[in-house]
Amino acid sequence: MASTTVSSTFELLFISSLLLFSQFFVSEAQGLPPVVKGLSWTFFQSSCPKLESIVRKRLERVFKDDVGQAAGLLRLHFHDCFVQGCDGSVLLDGSAGGPSEKTAIPNLTLRKESFKIIDDLRERVHKECGRIVSCSDITALAARDAVFLTGGPNYVVPLGRRDGQNFATEQATLDNLVAPTANTTTLLARLAAKDFDPTDVVALSGAHTIGISHCTSFTERLYPNQDSTMDKTFANNLKTSCPTANSNNTVNMDILSPNVFDNKYYVDLINRKGLFTSDQDLFTDRRTKNIVTSFGANQTLFFNKFVNAMIKMGQLNVLTGGQGEIRAKCSVRNKDKLLAAVVEGLEKTLAAAL
């Protein structure tokens, strides 16, 4: 009788714990942006259960060797999603049909190693699960792990994206990526067109808490005259690193903790030590100043808003279901790879005949 009572009590406690556990995650999920049709939080749970661990374990090693690659992967995801949606089109090489997005001016400074890392991850995932995971999904996961493995929040990523079969024109790339020289009005307008509000905009800008920048992205604030919104000591230090307006040198985006994903970027802005015009103007503009201040004072708040904005961004104009394809190699459309294989086969046959 006693054992039955103990058993019943244990079962009740166990069920209660499960209910509390499930309610916690339901409430968490309710606070996240809705998932677009075709994507799912559990898309590969059965077909590729090791997917996320493969990506994370590999990136742990990559970042141990060079933590700077984290910022490169995060920026790659941004540049992919904002142009024509998160379809992996930024990964494609050019073809006879035209130049790729890689050669568009805003993408020339994307790290070449980032493209290699994504295809390496693709090769590892496809070896484990077969060709069922897209390059665009892998890019989204790599961006999430770039954030988490450098000290930022861990968050769920809805999966099920398909890879695009066309790349955007250079003009489309220019029209959809905001230049570092842009002011807050331009930034808010461009992102409002993609359904981002000012809080989203300020949160996404926080990605500049890691990484480096080329001098030419901000030297218009130094030469011929110093931008009055820039701290003088900070400006003089930048002039040492960037002695001319056309210097090819690089500097850290966040001077306080350049390799850690935290809220120090906003502290920089409050101290007038933001690098780009598009950064510092967020603190100057009354529409976003209070958001910057709140993020600078509360890292947890920043992390929460950043996660929401990243999940929204990661679902921009995604291809799902029967749309697009799952590339066998991230830099080449499958039809191009098939054509290349056919041509190579014909060349070998002709060579043998001769």
Domain spans of the chain, in order of start: 50-211+253-332
352 pLDDT band, cuts 50/70/90, is: low
pLDDT digit string, tens, across residues 313-340: 999 999 999 999 999 999 999 986 655 4
pLDDT digit string, tens, across residues 224-245: 999 999 999 999 999 999 999 9
Angstrom distances, CA of residue 89 to CA of 163, 198, 266, 339: 7, 27, 31, 19
Q: Which residues contact 326 (CB under 8 A, 6 or more apart)?
A: 131, 132, 133, 134, 162, 163
pTM, two decimal places: 0.87
41 pLDDT band, cuts 50/70/90, is: very high
pLDDT digit string, tens, across residues 256-300: 999 999 999 999 999 999 999 999 999 999 999 999 999 999 999
Report percent pLDDT > 90 for the chain: 82
SS3 readout for 192-207 = HCCCCCHHHHHHHHHH
What does the pLDDT read at residue 166?
Answer: 92
68 pLDDT band, cuts 50/70/90, is: very high
Mark whether 77 is an active-site residue. no
The annotation places the binding site at 80, 83, 85, 87, 89, 101, 208-209, 254, 262
Determine the 3-state secondary structure of 104 from DSSP: coil
Q: Which residue has the tokens 């901000």?
A: 218
pLDDT digit string, tens, across residues 132-166: 999 999 999 999 999 999 999 999 999 999 999 99
Catalytic: which of 77, 79, 126, 214?
A: 79
Q: What is the arithmetic mean of pLDDT over 55-83?
A: 98
pLDDT digit string, tens, across residues 23-34: 333 334 448 999
Tell the CATH topology of 50-211+253-332.
Answer: Peroxidase; domain 1 (1.10.520)
The annotation places the binding site for heme b at 208
CB atoms within 10 A of CB 254: 27
To the nearest whole number, what is the mean pLDDT of the chain? 89
Residue 145's Cβ-count burial label (10 Å; 0-12, 13-18, 19+) is buried
What does the pLDDT read at residue 4?
Answer: 43
What does the pLDDT read at residue 94?
Answer: 81
Distance of alpha carbon 32 from its chain centroid, rounded?
A: 17
Instruction: Output the CA torsion 79→85→87→92 (10° steps).
Output: -50
